[in-house]
Structure 1
Amino acid sequence: MGTGTGNGTYTCLADGSWKDQYGLEDIPVCWPVCGKPDKPITSIQQTVGGSEAPQGSFPWQAMTAIHGRGGGALLGNLWILTAAHTIYPKWRPDSGERESLIQIAERTEVFLGHTTVDKLHRLGSHPIRRVFVHPGYRPNENHDFDGDIALIELQDPVTLGPNLLPICLPDAGNSNFYTRGRMGYASGFGVEEYFLPEQLKYTALPVTGRASCQEWLRGKKVDGKDPVFSENMFCAGSPHRKDTCQGDSGGAFSMLDQESGRWVATGIVSWGIGCDKGYGFYTKILHYLDWIKGITGENWL
């Protein structure tokens, strides 16, 4: 909400225009308010397998269907932030020419606005205009998830409301979100006990120090190679409890910024060694803000 140049108070509408209490519209473009869920999570839930997310608690959550179920997060009212490997999976063999991003965009489905899969399907998928994959992502390197970030542009802006709101991005240079012990939330519709759940789940996970994660990775191999844990990633969770799994990939690792009172996407669910065998690894969004801004051209960064 903002104050207009006249005597009235102007409200930001979903289409990006301002409207006052008398129904008059003003010229300046406004941007959707991010990171203000109607029913934010207030307690630290660390239930094994995750807890059911109340409606309105993660209103930026997207469910994607590309090579299977995946996740994403709404930015503004036109963009979905997700993981590159949901677009070009590591496990998918390269036989002949790789499917183009144009072809992928034509068959990609994105669902928004609810916490149950059935209701999401009833609401219907949002048509896609374009898909962008970070140039640093290497789809043929199964042990290396560096650059695991992608953007999906919707054809039309979504209508925002209590169950559909964007998440904020971190301020450039603010590395406090990645401090050891800082709590964040991973949410998604991923695999749970060998089946796909019908309800959005979430779990609280602490950011873990790099040294602990590097030590935990020591001796572990992916296709006979040491998994890459680059500076563009961070790790969260515990070596002794369940983490995210297939179907959660691409979803946001969200944190509450105590200073602004807004929820911020600090990471993207990226990779791990198994689904229930320790730490999870996340794309560090802070390192990709320039790329996101360059693609979207938006001013809400």
Structure 2
Amino acid sequence: CRTPMLLVASLLWGALASPDTSQSCPVPRWVEHGQVEHLARYRCDPYYQLRSRGDGLYRCSQQHVWVNEAAGEVLPICEPVCGKPKNPARQVQRIIGGMMAAKNSFPWQGRLLSRHNHTAGATLISDQWLLTTGRNLYLGHSENSTLEEIAPTLRLFLGRETPAGAVERIVLHPEFPGAVDLALLKLKHKVPVGEAVMPICLAQQDYAKVGRVGFVSGWGWTVLLEHPKQLKYVLLPVADSGSCQAYYQAHSLQPLQNNHTFCVGMSELRESTCLGDAGSAFAIHDPEDDTWYAAGILSFDRSCLAARYGVYVRVLSVLDWIKETMAAH
């Protein structure tokens, strides 16, 4: 049979991928009135999970090819695990004045540097795609700049400030800038997923309920109006949209608000997000499956201490566009 190219973690009755017979079982012997099969079972590396129509177990067919009962000859895929940080943030802990993030608490947090070193946030949602705001991309560029001109000027960092490599493609939401301030970034190469770098899962349900709290991490300005040297985070509550809209109607600042957005208030200590945090996720921990989900992407980060609410793009309302765009490119 052909040897599968995907990692064969264990082979029953022989290691077909290894010529070192001293480290593998011998070819199984036949038994009278019986049969013997060559079986190959696929398993993924840590921080990756198997995606397949079958169970990952392949048999050597009479045609001498490896076949799975449900998937046929189609090989499984090892895709990154999402939303499972090794050292998750805790609600008992308390970017203006937030807490310093512990190591690997927010492995999906990206730091985006645009032309002239403007700092912004980005959120890793797979091993090759990130979400950020559309407006972040034009920092240091004119409105007439093309996405092809902007892409080479972007620098992305993940984990402990590890370069993520070149941006291959930028896809703006079709309703940008009038209704949805969002963009997808595709990296030229996939990034290895592990403790320090891991995508966050995309919300499949509406977690943005009034009063529910979520975590926002980022590299935005502190009270000293400078970017922090370490990643910071803050715990914030979802706010009533009517109160938020009424507040900004009487305010000089006018963030984009509609059915695609929701508002988030300040913490009990009047902490908030600030310039440079846009593009970061409103991360919700779901205790039912012990997984972290991006319920929103911060769009309006100019609240700081001057305004009461931050405004986020609701992930659930753009989920289909995200999936379709990633599949198409």
Instruction: State the TM-score, normalizing by the size of structure 1.
Output: 0.80
Show the counterpart of 1:109: 155
Pair 1:71-2:121 in alignment: yes
Aligned partner of 1:154 among 187, 193, 201? 187
Quickly say closer, same or farther: Cα 1:106–1:243, change in 2 above 3 A: same
Show the counterpart of 2:259: 231
Q: Which amino acid aligns with 1:230?
A: N
- Give the Å deviation of 1:200: 0.2
Are 2:154 and 2:167, in contact at CA under 8 Å, matched by a contact in 1? yes
- Give the Å deviation of 1:45: 3.6
Aligned partner of 2:233 among 202, 220, 243? 202
Structure 1 SS opposite 2:320:
helix
CA distance in 2 between counterparts of 1:124 and 1:228 reads 31
Pair 1:30-2:59 in alignment: no
Which gives a bigger RCO, structure 1 or 2 (Cα 8 Å, sep 6+)? Answer: 1
Quickly say closer, same or farther: Cα 1:130–1:217, change in 2 above 3 A: same
Whose Rg is larger?
2
Q: Once the two structures are superposed, what CA deviation does each residue of 1:160-187 show, in whole Å capped at 9, x if it has no partner?
A: 110111100011xx22x11111110111
Aligned partner of 1:137 among 138, 163, 176? 176
Q: Once the two structures are superposed, what CA deviation does each residue of 1:116-173 show, in whole Å capped at 9, x if it has no partner?
A: xxxx1xx3341111111112112xxxxx6x31111110011101110111100011xx
Pair 1:249-2:278 in alignment: yes
Pair 1:49-2:97 in alignment: yes
CA distance in 2 between counterparts of 1:47 and 1:107 reads 25
**Range 150-159 or range 270-279, more displaced:** 270-279
CA distance in 1 between counterparts of 2:220 and 2:184 reads 20
Q: Once the two structures are superposed, what CA deviation does each residue of 1:73-121 show, in whole Å capped at 9, x if it has no partner?
A: 11110001111110135x9664xxx11111111111110121xxxxx1x
Show the counterpart of 2:137: 87
CA distance in 2 between counterparts of 1:245 and 1:47 reads 6
Quickly say closer, same or farther: Cα 1:44–1:207, change in 2 above 3 A: farther
After TM superposition, the runs of 4+ consecutive aligned structure 1 residues lying more than 6 A away are 13-18
Are 1:220 and 1:227, in contact at CA under 8 Å, matched by a contact in 2? no
Pair 1:288-2:318 in alignment: yes
CA distance in 2 between counterparts of 1:187 and 1:47 reads 7
CA distance in 2 between counterparts of 1:215 and 1:102 reads 39
Quickly say closer, same or farther: Cα 1:227–1:167, change in 2 above 3 A: closer
CA distance in 2 between counterparts of 1:270 and 1:49 reads 19
- Give the Å deviation of 1:10: 1.3
- Give the Å deviation of 1:272: 5.0
Q: Once the two structures are superposed, what CA deviation does each residue of 1:38-57 show, in whole Å capped at 9, x if it has no partner?
A: 10012244496100001110
How much is the aligned-residue C-alpha RMSD, in angstroms?
A: 2.9
CA distance in 1 between counterparts of 2:10 and 2:209 reads 39
CA distance in 2 between counterparts of 1:39 and 1:195 reads 27
CA distance in 2 between counterparts of 1:47 and 1:272 reads 9
- Give the Å deviation of 1:9: 6.7
Q: Which amino acid aligns with 2:188?
A: Q
CA distance in 1 between counterparts of 2:10 and 2:290 reads 24
Q: Once the two structures are superposed, what CA deviation does each residue of 1:8-60 show, in whole Å capped at 9, x if it has no partner?
A: 57124679889x9xxxx993112211000010012244496100001110001
Are 1:44 and 1:204, in contact at CA under 8 Å, matched by a contact in 2? no
Show the counterpart of 1:117: none
- Give the Å deviation of 1:276: 1.1
Unaligned stretches of 5+ in structure 1? 115-119, 139-143
Q: Once the two structures are superposed, what CA deviation does each residue of 1:180-214 show, in whole Å capped at 9, x if it has no partner?
A: 11110111011112111110000000101112212
CA distance in 2 between counterparts of 1:170 and 1:125 reads 24
Structure 2 SS opposite 1:260:
coil
Quickly say closer, same or farther: Cα 1:228–1:71, change in 2 above 3 A: closer
Structure 2 SS opposite 1:290:
helix
Percent identical across equivalent pairs?
Answer: 33
- Give the Å deviation of 1:274: 3.7
- Give the Å deviation of 1:215: 2.7
CA distance in 2 between counterparts of 1:218 and 1:258 reads 37
Structure 2 SS opposite 1:266:
strand
Quickly say closer, same or farther: Cα 1:17–1:218, change in 2 above 3 A: closer
Q: How many residue pairs get matched?
A: 268
Unaligned stretches of 5+ in structure 2? 1-8, 12-38, 57-65, 67-73
Q: Which amino acid aligns with 1:75?
A: I
